[in-house]
Amino acid sequence: MKLQVADLNSFYGPAHILFDIALEVGEGEVVALLGRNGAGKSTTFRSIVGLVENRSGRIMFEGKDVSREPTHAIVRGGLGYVPEERRIFTELTVDENLEVGRQPKRPNAPYWTREKLFTLFPNLGEMRNRPGGRMSGGEQQMLTIARTLMGNPSLVLLDEPSEGLSPKIVEQMVDAILAMKKEGVSIVVSEQNLHFARLISDRAYIIERGKICFGGTMAELDARPDIRDAHLSL
Amino acid sequence: MRGYLRGSNSQRQPRTAIQVSWFETRGVAALLTMRDYPTLILRRREAPSRRMKARYFTNAGPPMAFYFVQFLTGLASAASLFLVASGLSIIFGVTRIVNFAHGAFYMLGAYVAFTLTERFAGALGFWGGIVAAALVVAVVGVLVEMVLLRRIYHAPELFQLLATFGLTLMVQDIVVMIWGPDDLLGRRAPGFKGAVDFFGQNIPSYDLFLIGLSPVVLGILWLLFQRTRWGVLVRAATQDRDMVAALGVNQKWLFTSVFALGVFLAALGGALQIPRDAVHHALDLRIIVEVFVVVVIGGLGSIIGAFVAAVLVSELNAFGILIFPKISIILVFLVMAVVLIVRPWGLFGKPEAAARRTPGLTVNPWRPLTSAERLMSVGALALAAMLPLFAGNYALTVGSEIAIFVIFAASLHFLMSVGGLASFGHAAYFGLGAYGVAFLAKAAGLPMIVSLLLGPVLGLLGAAVFGFFAVQLSGVYFAMLTLAFAQIVWSIAFQWVSVTGGDNGILGVWPDKWAAGPAAFYWLSLAIAAFAVVVLRVIVFSPFGFALRATRDSPLRSEAIGINGKRVQWTAFVIAGTVAGIGGALFAYLKGSVFPDSLGISLSVDALVMVLLGGVETVSGAVIGAIVFKAANIWLVSQTDLSKLVLGGFIVLMVVAFPKGIVGTLETIWNRRRSTEDKKSALATSRVEVAE
């Protein structure tokens, strides 16, 4: 098991956000975390990488409990995180953005060089010296993913990669995610868009009001239209 | 300028520094030290001596040469200023801390360099000593960062400014303990001992060295930030610290290394001054105010901005002295005010995203006093009013002073807790009130009642003018601008000797007969203090108070419901300034005199500490804070010579351990107890977290 989360509870101040979240990701698997706006998808990811400080539970990554480690140590261990708001360094060029993400080669994870990433995201290769602030939304989304891949993660948490992108860019995104999977990166992708999730995922969880209310393969999800309609807005 | 001073006048210049002696505001020692610490302004801002003027006007070189030399002198002065300011900027960029202690590191650099260059002979000893001094101080900086700053990175700006100010105070006493109180004259730089003749004007060759040095440093910094991985990480962290951590970079060490570099630059700036300037223990505040001005003009976080602004400020000083010998400092502050109004984020800075909230980490919901609490307050007041029945004259004088500082602290509290505007120059309005009374009583000969009523009007006017500009800004910029305005007022009081008496002050401001007795004056002060506190409380819970708090908590939302935020804040500023002026007016009568110290930084910081001690987030914590602080302070000064060390340590401790202050801590305990007693009421009074 690549990643195993159990009994995860998170708080923002006095507000209880996540309730006993449990999810699992296998080696090389792509798992979708589906849910409406505000259901707790981003908080789940932020809790896993330690950006939400007030949390409890077990987060086993590659057999090791990382729930007590600081964010940078978790990420260095090979757990990459691509935030929802992209959070490109707007003052830095594409090359410099990638440099921030660069980490040493890891034995059990695919190794990414700039050149390899530029074949995955050809647009980026053409604007290596452009400041992040002067890129389109789609280009920025690609840059955040590339930046995280520079850390050679064995698992990536992708927070709503299709959000706000044009259909054409979404297609490119699907290709990129499938290419990552082919390289051997395990992926958890949070989505509101079931159609997009279906194109890339092996399995899915549905989260609603901070609780996991479904977990299973995409086929199992399709077999339960009641659940789908109750928890996802299509 | 040192060059021509040396040439024209071999005598030692009198001690000159932006002067903040903690003892002076503390009464007893004031008169003893007043003489030793005269002027506000840097040596180089003094008027050209007569002999020098004579040389210039008679047979010396052409005027152009003189102006050129003056220009070069300005450039040389810019070097150290740039080093220190760039250090401050770099640290702010990444850690978001405005490091008040930067001046202290500058001063430490000078002292350590003095010791090292004295100990080791030869050119290698000198230059090696300079660099080694900067490295030693950088190590000290690293320790400070790891022990202190790491604990307060997420605290509001006010706490960070105060903690680093506390550090500055401690360093002042420590430096005197190690190196003694006297000025130290360092070695001249080997290889740069002479002067270069330029059409009859002398330029010290060391000045030329400094002029060449700053572009080199600028270039090195540029390479460091643009061409190294470390530089890329630092620039990334400047924009988004959390994201850098989420990419696997250990922020802690990044912050520590940035802080080390910043402190190294400050200490290097100090160390390089020793061939030009005497080393003394007031260097820190002198440089820090100038550096604040530089980074505010240049833009916090911008190195290029620091460079340009350092040159600009130094040249304004160098030429300002020729144009306005008496008020050269005002020129610089005026330029700063103009820059801030036109580009609030500085010439090369970038507009900040929404500023972090100034008041604290959590807010207990505010409510008016219950009738029982009102009764208790009245009882406490009645008890205080009985003091003259059993206390002696000294105790009554202390009591009056405490009452006055309750007024002062309550006024600042109103501005910073209710208004969310943490002023670092609130003493300006206190002092203006005091001077207002002194003018009316001495010059116009008005009776006490009239002076007391009209004196604070000067504070009101000052607050109206400065407040208008200040409320255009928020956060650290607001703090720095208010500090600068206070320094303007201070320097006017100091330099306009014919009107204000300069540092001799205005003496003989005595109360009328009916209030002359200690008991009568105490009752008067107590009554006015009680009145002021009640009025401020009423305002807090008035519609205006709600509008003010709404503007503090969410400028955009309050704007959207039709509140004119700037006008509300301006009004609050004027109210706070006027109340402070009332305190100052009483203070003038209490002391029978007015000195520029009533406008000084130390008094402004005292007020901040009082508010903080009482509790920033409480409605009337400042009252308790003022009483405790003032009483402890008067006692402390009588007990130890190291009051700055103790006070500084106390401030640091308070920021780290009790950021909620006395009243805030008590309220939290009270609320917690109630919530365990009664779960339902716990819901109502539960603390509302202010998410950062």
Listed in sequence order, the residues at least 6 apart from B184 whose beta carbon sits closer than 8 Å to its beta carbon are B111, B114, B278, B279, B280
CB within 8 Å: A89 and B235: yes
Residue A216 backbone dihedrals phi, psi, to 5 degrees: 175, -175
**For B361, which residue in chain A has the nearest alpha carbon?**
A13
Alpha carbon distances (Å) from B507 to B162, B428, B443: 33, 19, 11
Q: Residue B370 is encoded by which pair of tokens?
A: 């219950």
Tens digit of each residue's pLDDT (9 = 90 or more) over B481-514 = 888 788 888 888 887 888 888 888 898 888 888 8
Listed in sequence order, the residues at least 6 apart from B169 whose beta carbon sits closer than 8 Å to its beta carbon are B22, B644, B645, B647, B648, B651
Between B303-323 and B205-227, two packed helices, what is the crossing angle to 10 degrees? 160
> Lowest-confidence range among A29-33, B25-29, B269-273?
B25-29
CB within 8 Å: A81 and B233: no
Under 8 Å between Cβ of B411 and B610: no
What ranges make up the beta strands (E) of B463-564? Answer: 506-507
How much of chain B, in percent, has pLDDT values that exceed 90? 39
Q: Is the pLDDT of residue B310 over 60?
A: yes
* Interface check A13 vs B, CB under 8 A: yes
CB atoms within 10 A of CB B220: 10
Provide the shortest C-alpha distance from residue B65 to chain A (in Å): 44
* pLDDT, position A234: 56
Which chain A residues contact residue B233 at CB under 8 A? Answer: 100
* pLDDT, position B523: 94
The whole-number average pLDDT for the span B90-101 is 88
* pLDDT, position B370: 81
The whole-number average pLDDT for the span B100-105 is 94
Length of chain B: 692
Which CATH number is A51's domain given? 3.40.50.300
Residue with tokens 């309220």: B667
Q: Which of the listed ranges A9-13, B103-107, B334-338 does the model predict with the highest average pLDDT?
A: B103-107
Residue with tokens 């589906």: A34
Which chain A residues contact residue B246 at CB under 8 A? Answer: 49, 51, 71-72, 75, 81, 83
Nearest partner of B407 among B567, B570, B630, judged by Cα: B630
Q: Is the pLDDT of residue B298 over 50?
A: yes
Q: Which of the listed ranges A112-126, B182-196, B256-270 does the model predict with the highest average pLDDT?
A: B256-270
How much of chain A, in percent, has pLDDT values that exceed 70? 99
Q: Which of A72, A103, A144 to mutate: most B Cβ within 10 Å?
A: A72
Listed in sequence order, the residues at least 6 apart from B535 whose beta carbon sits closer than 8 Å to its beta carbon are B579
Q: Is the pLDDT of residue B692 over 50?
A: no
Kind of pairing, strands A211-217 and A203-208?
Answer: antiparallel
Q: Is the pLDDT of residue B638 over 90?
A: no
Which chain B residues contact residue A109 at CB under 8 A? Answer: none
More confident: B53 or B100: B100
More confident: B334 or B204: B204
In CATH, B2-342 is 1.25.40: no
CB within 8 Å: B249 and A72: yes
Tens digit of each residue's pLDDT (9 = 90 or more) over B350-379 = 776 544 444 444 455 677 888 888 888 899
Distance in angstroms (rounded) separating the CA atoms of residues B428 and A22: 59
Q: Is the pLDDT of residue B50 over 70?
A: no
Listed in sequence order, the residues at least 6 apart from B196 whose beta carbon sits closer than 8 Å to its beta carbon are B202, B203, B204, B205, B208
In this prediction, residue B572 has a pLDDT band, given cuts at 50, 70 and 90, of: very high
Tens digit of each residue's pLDDT (9 = 90 or more) over A77-102 = 999 999 988 889 998 999 999 999 99
Q: Residue B73 is encoded by which pair of tokens?
A: 């002198």
Listed in sequence order, the residues at least 6 apart from B526 whose beta carbon sits closer than 8 Å to its beta carbon are B381, B384, B385, B399, B400, B403
Distance in angstroms (rounded) separating the CA atoms of residues B599 and B488: 10
B528: amino acid identity, one letter: I
In this prediction, residue B191 has a pLDDT band, given cuts at 50, 70 and 90, of: confident
Distance in angstroms (rounded) separating the CA atoms of residues B421 and B400: 28
* Interface check A94 vs B, CB under 8 A: no
* Interface check A85 vs B, CB under 8 A: no
Q: Residue A189 is encoded by which pair of tokens?
A: 């992708």
Residue B505 backbone dihedrals phi, psi, to 5 degrees: 70, -170
**For B236, which residue in chain A has the nearest alpha carbon?**
A89
* Signed CA dihedral, B81, B86, B87, B91: sign only: positive
* pLDDT, position B404: 95
Distance in angstroms (rounded) separating the CA atoms of residues A188 and B47: 71
Nearest partner of A36 among A187, A165, A192, A186, judged by Cα: A192
* pLDDT, position B594: 92
Domain-by-domain residue ranges, chain B?
Answer: 2-342, 398-628
Q: Which domain holds residue A216?
A: 3-231
Give me the interface pTM, i.e. the ipTM.
Answer: 0.92
Q: How far is CA B136 from the centre of its chain?
A: 26
* pLDDT, position B365: 65
Mean pLDDT score of chain B: 82
* pLDDT, position B353: 54
Q: Is the pLDDT of residue B46 over 80?
A: no
Distance in angstroms (rounded) separating the CA atoms of residues B446 and B443: 8
* pLDDT, position B2: 35
Nearest partner of B186 among B206, B212, B213, judged by Cα: B206
Under 8 Å between Cβ of B126 and B117: yes
Nearest partner of B189 among B124, B257, B282, judged by Cα: B124
* Interface check A92 vs B, CB under 8 A: yes
Residue with tokens 């060490």: B253
The whole-number average pLDDT for the span B134-160 is 90
Nearest partner of B472 among B573, B562, B557, B545, judged by Cα: B573
Q: Is the pLDDT of residue B466 over 80?
A: yes
Count of CB pairs separated by less than 8 Å, A with B: 67
Which chain B residues contact residue A71 at CB under 8 A? Answer: 242, 245-246
Nearest partner of B292 among B137, B482, B16, B466, judged by Cα: B482
Under 8 Å between Cβ of A99 and B229: yes
Q: Compute the C-alpha angle B142/B145/B151, nearest 5°.
A: 155
The whole-number average pLDDT for the span B331-348 is 81
The whole-number average pLDDT for the span B129-139 is 96
Kind of pairing, strands B688-689 and B593-594?
Answer: unpaired
Number of helices (H) and strands (E) in chain B: give both, helices first: 32, 6
Kind of pairing, strands A79-82 and B201-204?
Answer: unpaired
Distance in angstroms (rounded) separating the CA atoms of residues B258 and B248: 18
Q: Which of the listed ranges B6-10, B175-179, B621-625 does the model predict with the highest average pLDDT?
A: B175-179
> Lowest-confidence range among A138-142, B103-107, B187-191, B223-227?
B187-191
Q: Compute the C-alpha angle B359/B539/B526, nearest 5°.
A: 95
Domain count for chain A: 1
**For B250, which residue in chain A has the nearest alpha carbon?**
A72
More confident: B448 or B32: B448
> Lowest-confidence range among B57-71, B169-183, B368-382, B596-610?
B57-71
Burial class (CB in 10 A: 0-12, 13-18, 19+), B494: buried
Tens digit of each residue's pLDDT (9 = 90 or more) over B586-616 = 999 999 999 998 888 889 988 988 888 888 7
Distance in angstroms (rounded) separating the CA atoms of residues B400 and B411: 17
Kind of pairing, strands B195-198 and B201-204?
Answer: antiparallel
